[in-house]
Amino acid sequence: MFNVQGSKFKVRSGILAGGNFIIDHVKLIDAYPEQDMLAFISSETSSNGGGPYNVLKDLAAMRVDYPLEAAGLVGQDPNGDWILRDCHSAGIGIAQLHQTDAAPTSYTDAMTVTGSGRRTFFHQLGTNALLGEQHFDFSRTQAKIFHLGYLMLLTEMDRLLPDGRTIASRVLETAQQAGLLTSVDLVSSNHPQFREITEASLPFTDFLIVNEIEAGNATGIDLKSSPPDLAKIQTAAQQLLSQGVRREVIIHFEAGAIVAERSGTVHHQPSLQLPAGFIAGATGAGDAFAAGYLHGTHENWPIAERLKLAVCTAAVCLTHPTPSLGLRPVANCLKLADELGFRV
């Protein structure tokens, strides 16, 4: 194709999501027990898990009209076969979703407390620990955005190199050189090298989408407060920009979200006002937020409209205990804002 000046350019469309592909075994329990004590499981389901997998399944459920592609590593086992079938049936491209017999497919037991939606995770790293630079080929995609997650949960990708880089930072740099915008998500963990691993990737990240715990771990700023300290969250976002994020830092938390742009502009968005009994489970809500924000980014929406959709997709996710089965088409997600309104 040609623009009005006649120079050749490549039109990109779609989202390629790479990193953690996990089977989530979600168990609803009556309460989280103390050590050596008993809790009762009321129901259990198995579903998609891991940032890129959840984001892709969410976008598929939102019925977006551009290509969705997966990049990752699963085992040559029933769980790996299940993930491949599940992606294929959702219309997600699996050309770069590789299989290996070197480790089992990664899985998580997610214990979700009925009523509160609070959850605790027990995780098997499996094949995600082996995912590396050789598993990504950006010459094979026409995607507009490459979303990578989760740093701190990808052993080889998180490996620090002698020059201070990580494998993940090299993959992100290669994606940018190929013409893709890059988006990064982290996992809430106490990894001893959390800051170093994060900082290595920031100069190759266009959009950093994290929660307040991850932003705090990455900056050393304590962001755990109720109500949230918006001034501190904004300071953390601006610090992450100063450390290299190219376009936007997006920090979401229970009460809402902020976006700090490289231009200096900061946007605030409260979350939806949820009625009692609305929450069936919180697993995947952060990824649903990311899916909403990435969709708006892909479609070149104003930031305020991206944030509105993101808090709506996060809220819709809460209606089901699994990460993606609560998601609805984009228009239906946005209607939730009219029905429930936003927090004051």
Token representation of residue 20: 């953690």
- Whole-angstrom distance, CA of residue 32 vs CA of residue 47: 21
How many C-beta atoms surround the C-beta of residue 89 within 10 A? 9
User: DSSP string covering 151-218, please?
Assistant: ETS-TTTTPBPTTS-BHHHHHHHHHHHTT-EEEEEE-----TTHHHHHHHHGGG-SEEEEEHHHHHHH
Token representation of residue 125: 């790293």
Q: How many CA atoms lie within 13 Å of 171's alpha carbon, on the beta-carbon side?
A: 28
What pLDDT score does 108 carry? 87
- Looking at per-residue pLDDT, the higher value among 114 and 181 belongs to 181
Domains in the chain (CATH in brackets) are: 15-340 (3.40.1190.20)
Q: How many CA atoms lie within 13 Å of 195's alpha carbon, on the beta-carbon side?
A: 10
What pLDDT score does 279 carry? 92
Q: Is the peptide bond before 150 cis (omega within 30 degrees of 0)?
A: yes
**DSSP label of 189:** -
> Between β-strands 181-186 and 22-29, what pairing exists: parallel, antiparallel or unpaired?
unpaired
Spatial CA neighbour of 168 closest among 150, 193, 143, 190: 150
Per-residue CA distances from 158 to 8, 151, 228, 304 (Å): 37, 6, 30, 33
What pLDDT score does 121 carry? 83
What pLDDT score does 5 carry? 36
| Long-range contacts, 236-241 (Cβ 8 Å, 24+) | 236/212, 237/266, 238/266, 240/202, 240/208, 240/215
- Looking at per-residue pLDDT, the higher value among 4 and 236 belongs to 236
- Whole-angstrom distance, CA of residue 168 vs CA of residue 184: 10
What pLDDT score does 169 carry? 98
Amino acid identity, residue 243?
Q
- Whole-angstrom distance, CA of residue 21 vs CA of residue 99: 11
- Whole-angstrom distance, CA of residue 134 vs CA of residue 49: 23
- Whole-angstrom distance, CA of residue 8 vs CA of residue 5: 9
Band of residue 113 on the pLDDT scale cut at 50, 70, 90: very high
Average the pLDDT over 274-278 and give the result. 93
What pLDDT score does 26 carry? 81
Average the pLDDT over 207-234 and give the result. 95
CA 120 to chain CA mean position, Å: 18
> Between β-strands 22-29 and 41-49, what pairing exists: parallel, antiparallel or unpaired?
antiparallel
What pLDDT score does 3 carry? 38
Rg over alpha carbons for the chain, rounded to the nearest Å, is 19
- Does residue 8 register a pLDDT over 70? no
- Whole-angstrom distance, CA of residue 101 vs CA of residue 316: 37
Mean pLDDT of the chain: 94
What pLDDT score does 9 carry? 53
- Looking at per-residue pLDDT, the higher value among 225 and 150 belongs to 150
User: What predicted TM-score, i.e. pTM, was given to this entire model?
Assistant: 0.92
What pLDDT score does 116 carry? 85
- Whole-angstrom distance, CA of residue 94 vs CA of residue 88: 7
Band of residue 1 on the pLDDT scale cut at 50, 70, 90: very low
For residues 321, 158, 15 and 264, what is the CA-based torsion angle, rounded to 10 degrees?
A: 100
- Whole-angstrom distance, CA of residue 44 vs CA of residue 27: 4
- pLDDT, tens digit, 9 for 90 and up, residues 282-335: 889 999 999 999 999 999 999 999 999 999 999 999 999 889 999 999 999 999
Spatial CA neighbour of 240 closest among 258, 222, 262, 224: 262
What pLDDT score does 46 carry? 87
Amino acid identity, residue 230?
L
- Does residue 180 register a pLDDT over 80? yes
- Does residue 2 register a pLDDT over 80? no
Average the pLDDT over 146-152 and give the result. 97
- pLDDT, tens digit, 9 for 90 and up, residues 55-95: 999 999 999 999 999 999 999 999 999 999 999 999 999 99
The three-state secondary structure class of 223 is coil
- Whole-angstrom distance, CA of residue 243 vs CA of residue 240: 5
